[in-house]
Amino acid sequence: TMGKINAEKTIEFLNTRWNGAACPLCGGTEWTVTDKSFELREFNNGNLVLGGAKSSIVPVIPVTCSKCGNTVFINAIVANLLEE
């Protein structure tokens, strides 16, 4: 099963693509990243859907501005950051 995030690979990914991007809310340039992935679930009219063919779940890695808390999500599948 996939699901574990490789922290070193995540930092490498961000270093090659982030290019010193500033936070769009406050202009801060210091960011923190977690080595955990979280689930971004499809909205189902307020009903909790635990999985299956009728639901969509995207694993994301939050990257948070250290100054204001604005959070950007990196899609862990697209970024190829999930490990077995």
The per-residue pLDDT for range 7-62, each reduced to its tens digit, is: 888 889 999 998 889 999 999 999 999 888 898 888 777 777 766 666 688 899 99
Neighbours of 41 (CB within 10 A): 14
Alpha-carbon span 71 to 9, nearest angstrom: 20
Q: Provide the H-helix boundaries in the chain.
A: 7-17
- State how far the alpha carbon of 29 is from the alpha carbons of 3, 7, 10, 35, 51, in Å: 28, 20, 18, 20, 37
Residues 70-81: tens digit of each pLDDT: 999 999 999 999
